[in-house]
Chains A and B, each alone.
Chain A
Amino acid sequence: MRLKILTVDDSKTVRIIVKKSFKTFDCEVHEAQNGVEGLAMAAKINPDVILLDITMPVMDGVEMLTKLKSDPTLKSIPVIMLTAEAGRENVMKIAKIGVRDYIVKPFKEEVLQDKVSRVVDLRPAGEAEPVQKKIDDPIDILVVDDKPAIIEQIKSGFSHTPWNVHGVSSTGEAIDFCQKNVPDCIIISLSIPEDAAITLFRIIRSNAKTKYVPLFGLSVKTAIEEQQRAQQAGFSTIISKPIDFEDLENKIGKAVNLDASGKYFKMDGTFMTVKLPGTCNAGVVNDVSAHLKEKTSEAVNSGISNVVFDAQEVKSLNMDVIKLLLQSMKMCRDLSLKYALAGNAQIKDDSRKFEESKDWIFCDTVADAKATL
């Protein structure tokens, strides 16, 4: 259900600015121009948060707040004062009645969004029904590291992907970047001086626009203490240096919820190729398996009748891969699809060690496999 924000202000200008500030979020903004209207509207719509001015005609903000807090059905609605009336005395007086926060006019839209997002779960519009990005979409990755060589290494490591890697050397630059473009993923070096990574983590998590962006810590494998501090601060994923790019690519893909099927399944003429990557661990097998039925149906519907399972890059054959291939081949037979296998010498050797795969025939290349069909 969409969030409801109630703005109570005698100034139409302020009400317009409040509406404008939340235009890009999944919420509806309701208006009232004094305390009397504000109380009536609060009772009618039961808002998730109220933004309340103080100096208003008919009934001012202090009186409305007092009445709101004495009404059992309304008293739990969080109130943020949005007023030009500041000064220590005023703030203390209002705080005693019970407000969640206080914003002094003039205010930046970002401050308003930030304060509201600390009280309610404010999500960008459209996030409720997100459009899933694909593995070959140009996502933006922000790398925060004071060592340019690491940034260059990450850029180079992802040069085979369409991903855009943006490098910045300080937390200030990172905040500026995030204000202009919200990245899909952020990688922060944990070794930036003065625990700047943890400070940046908190800033990013407390901002409405960036609070859901996946954040990875980057650390030398042996810097255990640094990694523990980061985990305590809330970093859920820490990448070790030297970086294993295949592993990092998978982690980013999962964290950003990319549709990875394009990485494994390719349609070409009358063929569908299922390409297995070098490191074919349980995660990869699950990924392929999750898309197998849908992609095979898609192939059949588009007139494809041949499937090649390409295991040429797979370093070793394990039971997970064998189970995947068994499941895939059965699906092909059920759908009357012809199939063939391509693999390297190691895979051929490995396949003979298992009862389930000892009779499999692997061609040397995908072209050879296609030729057998």
Chain B
Amino acid sequence: MLSLGGISIVHAFLTQSITFPSKPFRKANDIKGINLNILKMQQTFPINDKDLEALANNALTTVFDTMLDTKVSLNESIILESESYNKGLVLPLDTTQPLVTGTVGFIGKLTGIIYIFMNLPFAEKLTCKLLDMEPDDLDSESTETVNDALGELTNMIVGTFKNELSDKGFHCRMTIPSILRGSNYTIEPVEVALRRIYQFECEGSPFVIDILMKEED
């Protein structure tokens, strides 16, 4: 585990981390002109944006509905300029608040990593819902409890996502979940062919899923 000025990084698969990112992004539904870089990526990467968004949406919806008996809605899909893929980005989330991030990787025909960013109070709320606990039940061991619950939710979300990829012919295996905790941090991938960020909302709380993938030879 690395520790950088209050930022704990437990996972280092395809990624490094930086603080105070500044690179802007575009919302998918805001794009009016044609971006050659994006088109190039979409033509070469085996899954198009529409399918990827559907995969992410289905994974989130299924897990939240089944395990938490609650609904999620997709607020925005963010399509990045390809030169921004390996830069730190401002997430559509209040990153000055304490953040908890669940992460699980997958290795195979497609290799990638998925991060799920959320503010700590929302992570605690999900933990209570998942384990049938009252907020007061989160005691001194709550860090471990929340980490484990968010890790398992991430595992299920990435599992659902990956299983659909496998059924489409992109066989891959999952890694064990990890958790990042800190504030004001983002992810800077070393090598990636596709990066998409989606902001979802659940019961008034926003959270972000950051998908990074590349196709293996």
Contacts and interface: CB of A to CB of B under 8 A. Distances in A.
Nearest to B163: A86
B67 interface: yes
Contact-size category for A: 20 to 34
Interface in A234-250: none
Contact of A106 (B156, B162, B174): B156
A84 interface: yes
A108 B67 CA distance: 7
Contact of B158 (A13, A84, A88): A84
A104 B156 CA distance: 9
B160 A11 contact: no
A131 B173 CA distance: 50
A184 interface: no
A20 B132 contact: yes
Nearest to A9: B152
A89 interface: yes
Given A12-B148, A105-B155, A55 B174 contact: yes
A11 B148 contact: yes
A67 B73 CA distance: 44
A104 B66 contact: no
Nearest to A56: B176
Contact of B152 (A11, A86, A108): A11
Nearest to B164: A87
A259 to B, nearest CB: 36
A106 B63 contact: yes
A56 B162 CA distance: 17
Interface string A155-194: 0000000000000000000000000000000000000000
A88 B163 CA distance: 9
A12 B155 CA distance: 13
Contact of A14 (B152, B159, B173): B152
A357 B146 CA distance: 80
Contact of B176 (A55, A87, A105): A55
Interface string B161-182: 0110011000101111100000
Contact of A85 (B145, B159, B167): B159
A57 interface: yes
A16 interface: yes
B187 interface: no
A13 B149 contact: yes
B211 to A, nearest CB: 17
A10 B148 CA distance: 9
B152 to A, nearest CB: 4
Contacts of A11: 148, 151-152, 155, 177
A90 interface: yes
A85 B173 contact: yes
Contacts of B163: 84-87, 104
B16 to A, nearest CB: 24
B183 to A, nearest CB: 24
A87 B67 contact: no
B131 A84 contact: no
Interface in A6-60: 10-14, 16-17, 20, 55-57
Contacts of A12: 144-145, 148
A354 interface: no
A212 interface: no
Given A11-B151, A84-B158, A106 B66 contact: yes
B62 interface: yes
Contact of B167 (A14, A16, A57, A88): A88
B130 interface: yes
Given A12-B148, A13-B130, A17-B130, A105 B167 contact: no
B169 to A, nearest CB: 10
- 5 tightest A-B CB contacts, nearest first: A84-B159, A87-B166, A106-B66, A13-B152, A86-B163
Given A10-B176, A106-B66, 13 more contacts: A11-B177, A13-B131, A13-B152, A17-B130, A55-B155, A84-B174, A85-B159, A86-B166, A87-B162, A87-B167, A89-B171, A104-B159, A106-B160
9 contacts: A12-B145, A13-B130, A17-B131, A85-B159, A87-B163, A104-B159, A106-B62, A106-B160, A108-B66
Interface of A: 10-14, 16-17, 20, 55-57, 83-90, 104-108
Interface of B: 62-63, 66-67, 130-132, 144-145, 148-149, 151-152, 155-156, 158-160, 162-163, 166-167, 171, 173-177
